[in-house]
């Protein structure tokens, strides 16, 4: 139904053809259920496990490896025996293991729809055939008449026809921390935002006070909650920057690999006149050399280690690659309520008609005090005592202490703040109510905007009524004020002072309530009467706010140093949002704010410009949140969204990385996010961003390390294959496929993992975020890879030719000894070079050569494995090695230091420039 909030009740009744008193007939309800379907949210179709497994093979590097395995299998069949199948088994094992890791890495169970369904009320009180009855919520249909009382969950979108003192908790949908007053008689504008629709109730919200009755106008997928579910299921998970970089790298390596393999095969067959099968095996070796088989596994393991480390710091990462994405975030879109603020109303100011007092402490805990403006404790006596008594006695909320030590609110958060104020002043609720029991009351309603309670024992021989409400209304009914001892006639001067104080509080985003009382002399009992809310005696004003978290200011400062912009997106009022933003230092020079209504008037193209300078968005809907995130992403920002409510779910899933609150967050928000903060602390995001930057920096280190080895291997095989046998008799492929696989998988992977455990460099949070378009292999890394690859080629080629022409010249099979020397030289060169790869800018001698204990263990283990595949009989045959005499290790070790030396010299030259 289109905009029922802008229609009169009679028009809604006519449009839905229902009876507001008798409701629908049961037969009509059945017809409508068949027409509209059940009042439930649809399930998102999940990709089956087998399909996700097969999707892992749609990668250029994987397809090349499969091709190499097929060619190796053909050769193995041709040659016969088991040894030829070793290459095939190892290659296929790599492919399958990487596929399993990929499924695990991407296997994110999308439970957002199920969580949304749980928020629906299981049963609703419905009038059908003029009888009130309980009906399963999934059987509700448009036109049903629903009855609601305090404590009920709203099971569908409902247009109110009656509302008595009704308040509804809509924080999870709109972001407002205070329950909203409802007014069935209101008729609103068509462009009215969801947070201002006083005549509507929405599925998934809860009635906290009063009662009401209304007509179901939307069910299932067409409710506001249903629209969120539909949007969630339609949002695809985009590739992270790292995924894009690695996929691009895979395609480039694939193209280069195929091109070089074809060139080598053609040169060997038509120029070198080698047999086609030998030329094919050379091409297969080259294909294996070009693919960094261990890269995917190392990336996965390093990201998983990052996940573990973040979890120990209260940040649970649900999607593996989100760990790295955090490191390049340059805009954090954050919800206000519960994220930047406590989500607990707190009294900040008290005015007794003469003096203004400050109140310390945060939230509902009875910790803090009322103090004078110079910081000393205020004596609780006279008019201040009477004012604080009224705060406690004229409130219904309770603030129980949970098992975890936290004080929570049951009832209206505004009243909970007043109860906490009383407790801080030595007036705990239970004791105060026992001393001054409530004998009558006038409940709050949105028409009067006041609440009154009656109590004995405040004044001897009399009953006193305490009234609280909107300052303008309460003050307008006051003819006196309390001076601490007696009632004194209200003066124009005092009235003006009260109004100015109220205005001053309101401009600092405080929610202000006024308190007054009236004495009924000689009464021992009394009947409540609305006339008693006239001729009141003014007591004072109380200003409260949902305060900013104490640690958020420091976190904001660190974000600014790191080049990260924080943007507040909230359902609260603009003035309140801007006040909180100013307090946190979010509103820098030129920073602006927009309301949801203002945002609706801006085109998408214009908004892409405006969003660059807007740091606060207020009174926004779920669609607005997605639009904001989308505009930022269109401007090439890497946007993070933090939040805790249902209203955040779409934006959480749309953002590059969504961060949900673990304590106050709804299941919907958690299941739509990439990361959950277990302490609901905005500052935890800062440490998570730092960890993400460290991880990306380390990924760059080992990607450069692995690729320089692969390029070096390509140069070794490709260039040596071009040397004619007439120049060097007996020359052949210097490394076999099984040796290259061992090197790429075992020898390189352990040091690469150790590089992934490097500590962050000291100034990592002083650097600007990298751009989304920035390639992982940038210009400096390309030059470094070239230098390293040439150094590796020089070392391995020299070792291979020395073995072939000098050390094993007279052996029965010189190529076996030469290959073993080349194999040992390449492995040691990689292990020594791993120390130089620990930083792209800083010399290893400044870092401390042996300061990374994981590197020391990895290198020692890899050297032990190298000796094993050379000296253990039987094992060395599998890897095409022979035993080397100790003297051969002298040239091997000396040549292996060449790439390490080249790395350190390159860093020295680069730093000087």
Q: Answer yes or no: are the C-beta atoms of 288 and 737 closer than 8 Å.
A: yes
The torsion of the CA quartet 610, 589, 770, 551, rounded to 10 degrees, works out to -110
What is the spatial distance between Cα 336 and Cα 324, in angstroms, rounded to a whole number? 25
Structure tokens at 199: 């005549």
The tally of CA atoms less than 13 A away on the side-chain side of residue 211 is 4
Eight-state DSSP code of residue 352: -
E strands present in 596-726: 614-618, 639-643, 657-661, 675-677
Q: Answer yes or no: are the C-beta atoms of 154 and 121 closer than 8 Å.
A: yes
10-residue block means of pLDDT along the chain (913 residues)?
A: 85 91 93 91 65 73 72 69 66 74 50 40 82 89 91 88 87 70 89 87 84 92 81 59 70 76 80 73 68 68 78 78 80 82 89 94 92 91 94 92 85 92 94 94 84 93 94 95 93 95 89 95 89 95 89 88 90 84 87 91 93 92 84 91 73 84 71 80 83 86 86 85 81 81 75 86 83 78 92 95 91 91 95 91 86 92 94 89 94 96 90 72
Q: Which of 138, 335, 648, 656 is catalytic?
A: 335
Strand order in 639-643's β-sheet?
A: 315-317, 675-677, 657-661, 639-643, 331-335, 565-569, 614-618, 592-595
The answer to whether residue 157 is catalytic is no
CA dist 351 to 224, 347, 389, Å? 41, 11, 14
The region that residue 139 occupies, defined by phi over 0 for left and psi between -120 and 50 for alpha, beta otherwise, is alpha
Render 196-228 in DSSP notation, one character per residue: G-TTEE-TT-EEEEEEEEEEEEE-GGGSHHHHH
What is the spatial distance between Cα 847 and Cα 5, in angstroms, rounded to a whole number? 66
Strand partners of residue 134 = 125
Q: Which residues of 711-725 are buried (b: 16+ CB within 10 A; e: fewer)?
A: bbbbbbbbebbeeee
Handedness of CA 597, 615, 638, 688 (dihedral sign): negative
Q: Answer yes or no: are the C-beta atoms of 158 and 138 closer than 8 Å.
A: no
Crossing angle for the helix pair 682-721 and 814-836, nearest 10 degrees? 150
What is the spatial distance between Cα 244 and Cα 238, in angstroms, rounded to a whole number? 10
In 3-state terms the chain splits into helix, strand, coil percentages (rounded to 5) of 50, 15, 35
Q: Answer yes or no: are the C-beta atoms of 797 and 719 closer than 8 Å.
A: yes
Q: Read off the pTM.
A: 0.67
CA dist 87 to 106, 206, 280, 297, 740, Å? 29, 64, 14, 19, 10
Among the residues of 294-381, which ranges form H helices? Answer: 294-311, 322-326
Number of alpha helices (DSSP H) and beta strands (DSSP E) in the chain: 33, 25
Q: What does the pLDDT read at residue 81?
A: 57
Q: What does the pLDDT read at residue 522?
A: 87
Q: Answer yes or no: are the C-beta atoms of 696 and 327 closer than 8 Å.
A: yes
Which class for 230: exposed (0-12), middle (13-18), buried (19 or more C-beta within 10 A)? Answer: middle
E strands present in 448-547: 450-456, 462-469, 478-482, 487-489, 511-521, 536-545
Q: What does the pLDDT read at residue 290?
A: 67
What is the spatial distance between Cα 902 and Cα 159, in angstroms, rounded to a whole number? 75
Structure tokens at 657: 């990385």
SS3 345: coil
What is the spatial distance between Cα 128 and Cα 106, in angstroms, rounded to a whole number? 48
What is the spatial distance between Cα 436 and Cα 381, in angstroms, rounded to a whole number? 17
Structure tokens at 399: 């603030």
CA dist 300 to 22, 101, 323, 511, 733, Å? 62, 7, 11, 50, 32
Residue keyed to tokens 């009399």: 462
Number of Cβ within a 10 Å radius of residue 504: 16
CA 358 to chain CA mean position, Å: 36
Question: Length of the chain, please?
Answer: 913
Q: What does the pLDDT read at residue 110?
A: 39
The torsion of the CA quartet 502, 504, 505, 511, rounded to 10 degrees, works out to 70
- Kind of pairing, strands 478-482 and 487-489? antiparallel
CA 84 to chain CA mean position, Å: 49
CA 318, 322, 324 angle in degrees (round to 5)?
Answer: 140
Eight-state DSSP code of residue 770: P
Rounded CA Rg of the chain: 36
Residue keyed to tokens 């040549």: 895
Eight-state DSSP code of residue 659: E
CA dist 680 to 403, 546, 552, Å? 18, 15, 11
SS3 564: coil
| Phi then psi dihedrals of residue 351, to 5 deg | -125, 125
SS3 485: coil
What is the spatial distance between Cα 610 and Cα 622, in angstroms, rounded to a whole number? 19
SS3 57: coil
Closest to 878 in 3D by CA, of 54, 315, 89, 24: 89
SS3 399: coil
Q: What does the pLDDT read at residue 272?
A: 67
What is the spatial distance between Cα 173 and Cα 639, in angstroms, rounded to a whole number? 22
């Amino acid at each position: 139904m289109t905009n029922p909030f802008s229609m009169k009740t009679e028009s809604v009744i006519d449009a839905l053809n229902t009876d507001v008193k008798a409701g629908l007939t049961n037969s009509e309800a059945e017809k409508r259920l068949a027409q509209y379907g059940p009042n439930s949210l649809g399930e998102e179709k999940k990709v089956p496990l087998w399909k996700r497994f097969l999707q892992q093979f749609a990668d250029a590097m994987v397809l090349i490896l499969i091709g190499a395995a097929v060619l190796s299998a053909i050769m193995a069949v041709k040659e016969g025996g088991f040894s030829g199948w070793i290459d095939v088994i190892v290659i296929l094992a790599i492919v399958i293991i990487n596929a399993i890791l990929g499924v695990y890495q991407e296997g994110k169970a999308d439970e957002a729809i199920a969580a949304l369904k749980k928020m629906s009320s299981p049963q609703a009180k419905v009038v059908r055939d003029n009888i009130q009855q309980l009906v399963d919520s999934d059987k509700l249909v448009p036109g049903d008449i629903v009855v609601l009382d305090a404590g009920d969950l709203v099971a569908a979108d409902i247009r109110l026809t009656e509302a008595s003192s009704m308040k509804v908790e809509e924080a999870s949908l709109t972001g407002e921390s205070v329950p909203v007053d409802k007014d069935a008689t209101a008729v609103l504008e068509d462009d009215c935002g969801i947070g201002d629709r006083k005549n509507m109730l929405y599925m998934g919200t809860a009635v906290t006070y009063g009662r009401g009755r209304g007509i179901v106008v939307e069910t299932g997928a067409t409710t506001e909650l249903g629209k969120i579910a539909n949007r969630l299921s339609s949002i695809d998970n985009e590739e992270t920057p790292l995924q894009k970089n690695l996929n691009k790298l895979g395609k480039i390596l694939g193209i280069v690999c195929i091109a070089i393999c074809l060139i080598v095969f053609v040169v060997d067959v038509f120029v070198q006149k080698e047999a086609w099968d030998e030329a094919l095996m050379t091409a297969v070796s080259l294909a294996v050399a070009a693919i960094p088989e261990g890269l995917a596994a190392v990336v996965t393991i390093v990201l998983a280690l990052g996940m573990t480390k973040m979890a120990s710091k209260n940040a649970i990462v649900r999607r593996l690659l989100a760990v790295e994405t955090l490191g390049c975030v340059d805009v954090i879109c954050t919800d206000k309520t519960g994220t930047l603020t406590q989500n607990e109303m707190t009294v900040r100011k008290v005015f007794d008609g003469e003096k203004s007092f400050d109140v310390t402490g945060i939230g509902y805990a009875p910790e803090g005090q009322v103090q004078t403006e110079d910081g000393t404790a205020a004596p609780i006596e006279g008019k201040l005592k009477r004012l604080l008594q009224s705060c406690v006695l004229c409130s219904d909320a309770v603030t129980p202490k949970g098992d975890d030590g936290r004080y929570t609110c049951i009832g209206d958060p505004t009243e909970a703040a007043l109860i906490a104020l009383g407790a801080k002043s030595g007036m705990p609720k239970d004791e105060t109510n026992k001393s001054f029991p409530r004998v009558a009351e006038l409940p709050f309603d949105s028409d009067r905007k006041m609440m009154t309670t009656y109590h004995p024992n405040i004044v001897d021989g009399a009953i006193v009524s305490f009234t609280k409400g909107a300052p303008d209304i309460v003050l307008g009914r006051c003819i006196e004020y309390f001076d601490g001892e007696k009632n004194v006639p209200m003066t124009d001067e005092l009235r003006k002072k009260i109004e100015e104080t109220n205005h001053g509080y309101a401009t600092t985003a405080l929610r202000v309530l006024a308190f007054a009382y009236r004495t009924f002399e000689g009464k021992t009992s009394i009947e409540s009467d609305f006339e008693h809310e006239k001729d009141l005696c003014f007591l004072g004003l109380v200003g409260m706010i949902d305060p900013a978290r104490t640690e958020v200011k420091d976190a904001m400062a660190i974000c600014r140093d790191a080049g990260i912009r924080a943007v507040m997106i909230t359902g609260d009022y603009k003035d309140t949002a801007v006040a909180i933003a100013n307090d946190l230092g979010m509103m820098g020079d030129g920073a602006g704010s927009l309301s949801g209504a203002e945002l609706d008037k801006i085109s998408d193209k214009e908004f892409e410009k405006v969003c660059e300078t807007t740091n606060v968005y207020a009174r926004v809907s779920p669609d607005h949140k997605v639009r904001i995130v989308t505009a930022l992403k269109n401007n090439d920002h890497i946007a993070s969204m933090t939040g805790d409510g249902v209203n955040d779910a779409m934006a959480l899933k749309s953002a590059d990385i969504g961060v949900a609150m673990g304590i106050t967050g709804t299941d919907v928000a958690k299941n739509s996010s990439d990361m959950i903060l277990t302490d609901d602390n905005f500052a935890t995001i800062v440490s998570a961003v730092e960890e993400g930057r460290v991880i990306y920096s380390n990924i760059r280190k080992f990607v450069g390390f692995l690729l320089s080895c692969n390029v070096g291997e390509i140069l070794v095989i490709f260039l040596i294959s071009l040397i004619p046998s007439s120049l060097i008799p007996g020359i052949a492929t210097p490394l076999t496929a099984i040796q290259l696989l061992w090197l790429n998988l075992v020898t390189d992977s352990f040091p690469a993992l150790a590089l992934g455990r490097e500590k962050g460099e000291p100034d990592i949070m002083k650097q600007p975020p990298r751009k989304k378009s920035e390639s992982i292999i940038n210009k400096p890394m390309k030059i470094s890879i070239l230098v390293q690859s040439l150094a590796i080629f020089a070392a391995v080629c020299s070792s291979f030719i020395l073995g072939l022409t000098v050390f094993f010249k007279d052996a029965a099979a010189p190529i076996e000894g030469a290959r073993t020397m080349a194999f040992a030289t390449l492995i040691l060169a990689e292990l020594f070079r791993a120390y130089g790869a620990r930083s792209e800018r800083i010399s290893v001698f400044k870092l401390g050569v042996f300061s990374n204990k994981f590197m020391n263990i990895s290198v020692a283990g890899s050297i032990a494995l190298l000796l094993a595949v050379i000296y253990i009989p039987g094992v060395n045959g599998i890897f095409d090695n022979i035993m080397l005499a100790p003297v051969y290790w002298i040239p091997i070790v000396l040549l292996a230091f060449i790439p390490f030396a080249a790395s350190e010299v390159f860093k020295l030259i680069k730093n000087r420039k």
